[in-house]
């Protein structure tokens, strides 16, 4: 599991460790790791031109000490001090002792730099870049230099992934002690480039703020039939989806569900003929969900239009996934009072409608939006999009690391809902079902696409191969 911790937790852990170490030792650990990472990126340190953008806090201190280390190895290091009176004094002295200097003309040195270290702000940054930093950040980005962010790209919010103003886009970020949520969640994540974690010995709590499943975690969660399994014990998922207008959504949701580990898929709705034509193994009916036979989980909503079924399914005593049209006008009380788990899977537009805010706000504040929805509905929320999040009202939020923007294709959300519903029926809890489904779906999107446009149907077809790969990495 990849874990990320909020700023207060990181600071508390740093404080505890600093009390046990000689003054400055922690910063030296950070700077040593940072300098080594820069040396790797430069290839040849001797003769390289390095520019440090130095803010007024310890983030600038890290940059200065790392710059000193690179200067001692023969790099030409120039420091641009955003606030000369408040630049880290010991760090600056170390840089000058090592042969580095303070740049006279920031734009001149930036124009010819091989590597820029962004030490403007780290976890102490508030708001976007301040006006004096913006031209420097633009000059760094406009040069041919590799831009390396110290701890975090300056201007992004460490704890939430929000980017409240302008920020400096990095090619790589070297972060210390722990990932911060902003390094995993868009829009900030996009500013970080490739992230390298330098351990500095922090003792962090067992429960993070944000976590991302890795192959081995998913392998452990995948349902596998035992010797005694039969189709009912593996779980039956019911799909209430599709309409005369959108019969394809029924086919795609069933396509996802058949790949998700349930022993059988029941389809209820007007798209039965289309479903059977593609997937003869589906049990179809067109009456009410209650008459379709027993299921261990329901999926309701993909392509449903104004069709019936949402209230009835919500009134059942099994886990329910609500997607797409099922989310329209969803009553919080109907969800809150349910005796079993509910998983809501909105994209940003649907989440915005439920929250009564503009879509842009949800996209800018993904973490807070997902948490707020989960809390209002007493449900688990899988917020789809550039970074898919799975959130409950409290506890760690899962961030999906496998997504690809090739998944932004009509119907791929229907496949995801079938897949997640099938995992619910197979017995996974809502958080696990949502995050495992998003993980497999993201990888399937990559396989189906391989750099070219993929179809939702192709994504569903790629799930078994991905499942095999992931399962093979399990212990």
Ligand X SMILES: NC(=O)C1=CN([C@@H]2O[C@H](COP(=O)(O)OP(=O)(O)OC[C@H]3O[C@@H](n4cnc5c(N)ncnc54)[C@H](O)[C@@H]3O)[C@@H](O)[C@H]2O)[C@@H](O)CC1
Binding-site residue positions: 58-62, 118, 122-128, 151, 154, 249, 303, 347, 384-388, 413-414
Q: Out of ligand ADP, K ion, ligand X, none, which partner does residue 407 contact, by CB within 5 to 8 A per kind? A: ligand ADP
* Sole window of 115-123, 201-209, 230-238, 395-403 interacting with K ion (rule: CB under 5 A): 115-123
Q: Does 122 bind ligand X (CB under 6 A)?
A: yes
Of residues 170-189, which lie at the interface with ligand X (CB under 6 A)? 176
From residue 105, alpha-carbon distances to 79, 109, 111, 130, 136 in Å are 10, 7, 10, 19, 11
Distance of CA 424 to the CA centre of its chain: 21
CA 253 to each of CA 232, 247, 393: distance values in angstroms, whole numbers, following the listed order: 20, 10, 27
> From the list K ion, ligand X, ligand ADP, none, which binds 58 (C-beta under 5 to 8 Å, kind-based)?
ligand X
By the rule CB under 6 A, 130 interacts with ligand X? yes
Give CA–CA dist 421/427, Å, rounded: 10
Among 460, 418, 384, CA closest to 303: 418
Burial of 291 (0-12, 13-18, 19+ CB in 10 A): exposed
Of 124 and 458, the one with the shorter C-beta distance to K ion is: 124
CB 127 within 8 A of CB 65: no
CB 438 within 8 A of CB 403: yes
DSSP SS3 for 53: strand
Which stretch, 124-132, 192-200, 398-406, 460-468, contacts ligand ADP (CB under 6 A)? 398-406
Instruction: Select the residue interacting with ligand X from 4, 5, 13, 30 (CB under 6 A).
Output: 30
Mark the segment that binds ligand ADP (CB under 6 A) among 113-121, 172-180, 385-393, 429-437.
385-393
- Residue 62 or 432: which CB sits closer to ligand X? 62
> Least separation, in Å, of the C-beta of 381 and ligand ADP?
13
| Other CB atoms within 10 A of residue 41 CB | 16
How many CB atoms lie under 10 A from the CB of residue 166? 17
Closest distance of CB 453 from ligand ADP, Å = 13
From the list 380, 404, 422, 449, which residue makes contact with ligand ADP (rule: CB under 6 A)?
Answer: 404
> 359 CB contacts (<8 Å, ≥6 apart)?
348, 349, 352
> What are the DSSP E strand ranges found in 42-135?
49-54, 76-81, 101-102, 115-119
Return the residue of 14, 363, 365, 414 that touches ligand X, per CB under 6 A: 14
Q: Is residue 446 a contact point for ligand ADP (CB under 6 A)?
A: no
Identify what 408 binds: K ion, ligand X, ligand ADP, none; CB under 5 to 8 Å per kind. Answer: ligand ADP
Q: Confirm or reject binding of residue 449 to K ion (CB under 5 A).
A: no
Contact 109, 80 (CB under 8 A): yes
201 binds, among ligand X, K ion, ligand ADP, none (CB under 5 to 8 A by kind): none
CA 171 to chain centre: 18
Is 175 near K ion (CB under 5 A)?
no
Tokens of 362: 């949800």
For ligand ADP, the binding residue among 416, 426, 436, 463 (CB under 6 A) is: 416
Q: Which is nearer to K ion, 191 or 377 (CB)?
A: 191
Question: What is the C-alpha R_g of the chain?
Answer: 25
Question: How far is it, in rounded angstroms, from Cα 282 to Cα 275?
Answer: 7
Q: CA-to-CA distance for 10 and 183, rounded, in angstroms? A: 14
Helix (H) / strand (E) element for 172: namely strand 172-176
Between 88 and 446, whose beta carbon lies closer to ligand ADP?
446
Which positions from 312 to 331 touch ligand ADP by CB under 6 A, shown as an x/- string?
A: ------------x-------
* Minimum CB distance to ligand ADP, residue 76 (Å): 40
By a kind-dependent CB cut-off of 5 to 8 A, residue 403 interacts, out of ligand X, K ion, ligand ADP, none, with: ligand ADP
Interaction site with K ion (CB under 5 A): 118, 149-150, 154
- Contact footprint for ligand X (CB under 6 A): 14, 18, 26-27, 30, 55-60, 62, 120-127, 129-130, 133, 150-151, 176
- List of residues contacting ligand ADP (CB under 6 A): 324, 347, 384-386, 388, 403-405, 407-408, 410-414, 416, 441
């Amino acid at each position: 599991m990849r874990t990320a911790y909020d700023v207060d937790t990181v600071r508390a852990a740093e404080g505890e460790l600093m009390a046990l170490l000689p003054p400055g030792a922690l910063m030296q650990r950070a700077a040593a790791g940072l300098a080594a990472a820069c040396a790797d990126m430069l290839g040849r340190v001797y003769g390289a031109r390095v520019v440090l953008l130095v803010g007024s806090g310890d983030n600038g201190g890290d940059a200065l000490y790392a710059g000193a280390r690179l200067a001692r190895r023969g790099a030409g290091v120039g420091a641009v001090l955003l606030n000369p009176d408040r630049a880290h004094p010991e760090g600056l002295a170390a840089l000058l002792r090592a042969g580095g200097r303070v740049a006279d003309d920031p734009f001149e040195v930036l124009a010819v730099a091989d590597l820029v270290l962004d030490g403007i702000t780290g976890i102490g940054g508030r708001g976007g870049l301040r006006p004096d930093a913006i031209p420097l950040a633009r000059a760094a980005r406009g040069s041919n230099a590799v831009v390396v962010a110290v701890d975090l790209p300056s201007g992004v919010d460490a704890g939430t992934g929000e980017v409240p103003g302008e920020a400096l886009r990095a090619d790589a970020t070297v972060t210390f002690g722990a990932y911060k949520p902003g390094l995993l969640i868009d829009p900030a994540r996009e500013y970080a480039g490739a992230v390298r974690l330098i351990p500095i010995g922090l003792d962090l709590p067992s429960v993070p703020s944000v976590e991302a499943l890795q192959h081995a975690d998913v392998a452990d969660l995948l349902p596998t039939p035992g010797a005694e399994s039969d189709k009912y014990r593996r779980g039956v998922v019911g799909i209430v989806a599709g309409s005369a207008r959108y019969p394809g959504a029924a086919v795609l949701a069933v396509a996802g569900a058949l790949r998700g580990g349930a022993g059988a898929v029941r389809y209820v709705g007007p798209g039965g003929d289309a479903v059977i034509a593609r997937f003869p193994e589906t049990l179809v009916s067109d009456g009410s969900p209650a008459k379709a036979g027993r299921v261990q989980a329901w999926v309701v909503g993909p392509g449903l239009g104004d069709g019936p079924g949402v209230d009835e399914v919500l009134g059942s005593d099994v886990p329910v996934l609500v997607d797409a049209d099922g989310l329209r006008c969803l009553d919080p009380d109907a969800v809150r009072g349910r005796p079993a788990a509910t998983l809501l899977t909105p994209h940003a537009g649907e989440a915005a409608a439920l929250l009564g805010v503009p879509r842009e706000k949800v996209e800018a504040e993904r973490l807070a939006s997902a948490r707020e929805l989960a809390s209002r509905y007493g449900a688990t929320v899988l917020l789809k999009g550039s970074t898919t999040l799975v959130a409950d009202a409290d506890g760690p939020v899962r961030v999906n690391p496998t997504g690809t923007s090739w998944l932004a294709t009509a119907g791929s959300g229907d496949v995801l809902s079938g897949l997640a519903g099938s995992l619910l029926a197979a017995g996974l809890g809502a958080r696990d079902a949502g995050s495992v489904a998003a993980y497999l779906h993201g990888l399937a999107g990559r396989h189906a696409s391989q750099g070219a446009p993929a179809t939702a149907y192709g994504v569903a077809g790629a799930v078994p191969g991905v499942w095999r790969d992931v399962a093979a990495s399990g212990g």
